[in-house]
Amino acid sequence: MKFVEKGLAMRELERRDADIATQRGMTDSFVAAFGQPGRRFRRERRRASWIGCCVALGVVALFSASGCSSSTEDGDSGDLGISVDEQALTHDARCNEGDIRSVAPASASAFLDRAFTWVHKKVMYCQCQKSGSGAYRADCSGFVSSTWGLPSPGNTTRQFPGGPSDNGEAISIGWDDLTIGDALNWHDPKGGPEGHVMLFAGWLDTGHTKFCSIEEYETGKPVGILTHSIYESWPTTIKNFHPIRKKGYSPDKPNGGEPPAEHAPPSSSETKYWVDTFETAPGYSTPGTGTATGHLYAGTNYVYCKTWGPKVQVDSDYNHYWLKTDLDDGSPSEGQFVSAYYLSRWGNDEAKDNSGAVIPDCSGAAKPPPPPPPPSPPPDPTSGCASVTYCDAPGSGGTLCKQTGCSLSAAKAECLSDLASLGCQFHCPGSIEVLGGGVSAMCCPGVCSPGCPC
């Protein structure tokens, strides 16, 4: 008994030493697999000496007790009580969107666009359709099916290679052939319901012992970017997973070797602007015209640009702007338009992202009409009351005006106003010809007289 216990202790020490040696070798492996390490990784390397000792304090469970398992042909059961492997790894900082995209083949860009859309939308694991998962199940196999563009609601682990009902949508490949955009599938070979599939997102070392993945992996949690070792077991070792590739996909060929889609997705170089929408919005190929092609679900979504179009209005809220985006369901789904009316944060005829930046115009976008001219000022109520006959009448007659309408006081006021517009000064003694005959004196500034108080 003591010999057995001693043997277990020795194996535990050997395993710990191997983990520390692996941590110390991560820098060289990262350079080979992912390029020169960045500043953040160099800080992580300095902590490597104690990560091995403290790994138990920071473990991240890669699979929960609820797992992603395939119980029927229709979907994956997520509540079968599978035990979690205690060899869960700490998350590697290099498993992030920027590093994964930087080393991925160009042919995988469409796969990664779809995968990271789920990540950004934080699509929660569920054996159902969720906001953000479109027409696909929000479980492990639904996620991979959506990423690969397979028919919805998606394959199950039973239907990928390694499962008992392989439907030919993917092919088996070797472990050393894995490249970003491929997947790893496992289904219980004994015929049980358990199973799991994950999107492969790149090796972390040249020895091909650690890798990044993107996967729906646990009930109650969103799709995540995880780190794995080939020495894990859940409930089998990772090496028992089947490396698979979408049928017809070739990583070294343009567009993966697949024929161009009838509606090609927007270029991956297009900038994405993240916005919140308060309600599911219908999408159109042309802003606001024709039949809706699909829907953009409520939540956080990306858009590319804006254009002016038909007004969408409910009560006092309205918006003329339309936003180019990729819909969550429908066909075609890429490069469609939804109304900016559905933006959560902004007001009428505003189109901004969540940071407050104005979303740029699409190429060739329609522009809003110029603002209407300001309204004309109301007519002067004294207009047409008087006219100036002389600024200074001959013979020292002074200023002479003529009443043409209005009251006498209004006519005198207009006479003074017209003098100023003509560049004249009032000359005393001033007078105004009154309607119906007669003359009325006008007050000289600073001169006291009857009717003209000082």
Q: How much is the pLDDT for 257?
A: 55
Q: What is the number of residues in the chain?
A: 454
pLDDT at 56: 28
Cβ atoms of residues 194 and 70 within 8 Å: yes
Task: Tell me which of 376 and 412 has the higher pLDDT.
Answer: 412
Write out pLDDT tens, residues 432-444.
899 888 888 888 7
What is the average pLDDT across 57-77? 39
Instruction: Retrieve residue 132's tokens.
Output: 């953000």
Mean pLDDT of 429-454: 77
What pLDDT was estimated at residue 258? Answer: 54
List the structure tokens of 23: 């941590």
Q: How far is CA 279 from CA 295, 312, 316, 332, 345, in A?
A: 10, 14, 17, 20, 12
> What pLDDT score was predicted for residue 55?
27
Which of 69-73, 80-84, 148-152 has the least mean pLDDT? 80-84
Percent of the chain with pLDDT over 70: 72
% of the chain beyond a pLDDT of 90: 31
Task: Count the neighbouring beta carbons within 10 Å of the beta carbon of residue 244.
Answer: 24
User: Cα separation of 430 and 434, whole Å?
Assistant: 13
How far separated are the first and last CA of the chain, in Å rounded? 125
| Torsion angles phi and psi, residue 350, rounded to 5 | -115, 145
Least confident of 119-123, 145-149, 446-450: 446-450
Q: What is the CA radius of gyration of the chain?
A: 38
C-alpha torsion 378→380→381→382, nearest 10: 180
For the cut 70, the answer to whether the pLDDT of residue 57 exceeds it is no
- Indicate the burial class of 74 (C-beta count within 10 angstroms; 0-12, 13-18, 19 or more): exposed
Q: Is the pLDDT of residue 185 over 90?
A: yes
Question: What pLDDT shows up at residue 179?
Answer: 95
Mean pLDDT, rounded, of the chain: 75
* pLDDT number for residue 337: 96
Could you give the angle at the alpha carbon of 72 between the alpha carbons of 70 and 75, nearest 5°?
65
- pLDDT at position 300: 77
Q: Which amino acid is at 107?
A: S
Residue of 301 and 247 predicted with greater confidence:
247
What are residue 364's phi and psi, to 5 degrees?
Answer: 70, 20
Least confident interval from 60-69, 245-254, 264-273, 390-399: 60-69
pLDDT tens for 320-352 read 999 999 988 888 888 999 999 999 889 999 999
Residues 226 and 85 sit within 8 Å (Cβ to Cβ):
no
* Model confidence, pTM: 0.48
Position 427 pLDDT exceeds 70: yes
The pLDDT value recorded for residue 444 is 78
Q: Are 156 and 164 in contact (CB under 8 A)?
A: no
Q: What is the pLDDT of residues 356-370, one digit of tens each?
A: 999 999 988 777 888
Is residue 11 very low, low, confident or very high in pLDDT (cuts 50, 70, 90)?
Answer: very low
pLDDT class for 156, splitting at 50, 70, 90? very high
| Cα(183)–Cα(171) distance, integer angstroms | 10
For residue 353, is pLDDT > 80? yes
Q: Say if residue 299's pLDDT is above 50.
A: yes
Q: What is the 3-state secondary structure (H, E, C) of the chain?
A: CHHHHHHHHHHHHHHHHHHHHHHHCHHHHHHHHHCCCCHHHHHHHHCHHHHHHHHHHCCCCCCCCCCCEECCCCCEECCCCCCCCCCCCCCCCCCCHHHHHHHCCHHHHHHHHHHHHHHHHCCEEECCCCCCCCCCCECHHHHHHHHHCCCCCCCCCCCCECECCCCCCEEECCHHHCCCCCEEEEECCCCCCCEEEEEEEEECCCCCCEEEEEECCCECCECEEEEEECCCECCCEHHHCEEEEECCCCCCCHHHHCCCCCCCCCCCCCCCEEEEECCCEEEECECCECCCCEEECCEEEEECEEEEEEEEEECCEEEEEEEEECCCEECCCCCEEEEHHHECCCCCCCCECCCCCECCECCCCCCCCCCCCCCCCCCCCCCCCEEEEEEEECCCCEEEEEECCCCHHHHHHHHHHHHHHHCCCCCCCEEEECCCCCEEEECCCCCCECCECC
Residues with Cβ within 8 Å of 375's Cβ and at least 6 positions away in sequence, in order, are none
Which pLDDT score, from 0 to 100, does residue 453 have? 62
pLDDT at 379: 54
Using an 8 Å Cβ cutoff, are 325 and 333 in contact?
A: no
Q: Please report the pLDDT score of residue 66 as a whole number.
A: 38
Mean of the pLDDT values across residues 393-409? 83
Rounded to the nearest angstrom, the gap between the alpha carbon of residue 103 and the centroid of all alpha carbons in its chain is: 23
Ranking 239-243, 340-344, 380-384 by mean pLDDT, the lowest is 380-384
Indicate if the pLDDT at residue 140 is higher than 90: yes
Q: Is pLDDT at 445 greater than 50 in this prediction?
A: yes
Q: Kindly tell me if the per-residue pLDDT of 243 is higher than 90.
A: yes
The whole-number pLDDT of residue 69 equals: 54
The pair of three-digit structure tokens given for residue 308, joined into one six-digit string: 């002016």
Residue 30 has pLDDT above 70, yes or no: no
Inter-residue contact 348 to 313 (CB < 8 Å): no
* pLDDT of residue 275 exceeding 50: yes
pLDDT of residue 393: 79
**Banded model confidence at residue 448, pLDDT cuts 50, 70, 90:** low
- Residue written as token pair 């190929």: 285
Q: pLDDT: is 80 or 416 the higher one?
A: 416
